[in-house]
Amino acid sequence: MEMKLKGEKIAMLTSYDYSMAKLVDQAGIDIILVGDSASNVMAGNETTLPITLDQMIYHGKSVVKAVNRALVVVDMPFGTYQGNSLEALNSAIKIMKVTHADAVKVEGGKEIIESVERILSAGIPVMGHLGLMPQSINKYGTYTVRAKEEVEAQKLIEDAILLEEAGCFAIVLEKIPAELGAKVSQALKIPVIGIGAGGGCDGQVLVLHDMLGITQTFSPRFLRRYLNLAEEIQGAVNSYVQDVKSQDFPNEKEQY
């Protein structure tokens, strides 16, 4: 909130394991999200729905061990907070106790507000998520831009205000018109982090594997690839294979 007041943009990225989280933290990131996108990039699932609470806890615990300075937020996976606020509380407590993370993140507004309030009542910080909500993909049927129509846009604004009033410390807005992203950011006192929600948000988040170019098939308009790591890794592995087969590796200096 201090960064928002100062006009300093917030940089957020995902991480799922110790080694990568250590590098991301040392590079100066503000927030690390242990995203349920691990279901896609780490486990190869088509959606985020299959990942379990125990799997998210495993990833969260691995990340927290590596981090010295960034705020670490763990996604609550599908089925651990929708429709049952007591289960939501128990799930959030388990995440916090085992991972030692700083906060949890949930998707939805009015529909899950009872769960949000119950988690907050235990002193657990909650980050919200509105717009395109990947855990609801079966309801949408597509990953296209959300809230382009007035009715959905108005509901998003109302949900954002509801989450802020409930006590959420920040909200992620995914894949909505840039004008709406800026409008929500201006309307709220808490930080709004965008992913495909325009430059008017208080910060930005991307999936690490996407921005490093490890994933190749996912190319939405909002994604900027800062590296083509897939090519670099494949080149390095290919060189290793050739060196082993040609008996160039190991050489005399690389053995005992």
Q: Give the residue numbers of the binding site for 3-methyl-2-oxobutanoate.
A: 36-37, 75, 105
Task: Report the catalytic residues.
Answer: 174
Q: Which of 185, 79, 85 is nearest to 130 (CA)?
A: 185
- Annotated binding-site ranges: 36-37, 75, 105, 107
Which of helix, strand or coil describes residue 128?
strand
45: tokens are 């699932």
- Annotated binding-site ranges for Mg(2+): 36, 75, 107
Q: Please tell me the distance from the alpha carbon of residue 191 to that of residue 188, in angstroms, as a whole number.
A: 7
Whether the Cβ atoms of residue 91 and residue 122 lie closer than 8 Å to each other: no
CB-neighbour burial class of residue 21 (10 A; exposed 0-12, middle 13-18, buried 19+): buried
Q: Which of 210, 200, 158 is nearest to 176 (CA)?
A: 200
Radius of gyration of the chain (CA): 20
Q: Please tell me the distance from the alpha carbon of residue 5 to that of residue 2, in angstroms, as a whole number.
A: 5
